[in-house]
Amino acid sequence: MPEDLDKIDNEELVEIYDQMLTRLGEFYKKGFYAWLKTENPHLAKRLVILDEKINEVWDKCTVGEESIIIFKAGVKFYEDTVRKALVDYA
């Protein structure tokens, strides 16, 4: 484990992720993910991969193998990607 990385408490990561979901919830429209799978299956698959990567970084953060900065960047990128797709859905 690198000296300069601290283990990040799981609850802190949950809070960051939940805040992102709350922000997305303000824009979310029913049927979005079903629409996305039909209209843009490539992006739908990409979002699944992004979510998996966030989970991998999450696990690494809790053992001090990854920076919370990387976690926050991944969550932000996911949020931004979904927001752009929601604009197309609207």
Identify residue 21 by its one-letter amino acid code. Answer: L
Measured CA distances, 76 to 3, 6, 16, 36, 70 (Å):
26, 21, 10, 19, 10
Q: What is the pLDDT along the chain (90 residues), one digit of tens a residue?
A: 445 689 999 999 999 999 999 999 998 999 999 999 999 999 999 999 999 999 999 999 999 999 999 999 999 999 999 999 999 897
Domain that holds residue 83: 10-89
3-class DSSP state of 1: coil
Q: Is 56 part of any domain?
A: yes
Report the pLDDT value the prediction gives residue 41, as an integer from 0 to 100: 97
pLDDT of residue 81: 96
Query: Is 5 a domain residue?
Result: no
Domain count, the chain: 1
In a domain, 31, yes or no: yes
Please report whether residue 19 resides in a domain. Answer: yes
Residue recorded with tokens 């698959």: 45
* 33 in a structural domain: yes
59 falls within a domain: yes
Q: Determine, yes or no, domain membership for 1.
A: no
**68 domain-assigned:** yes
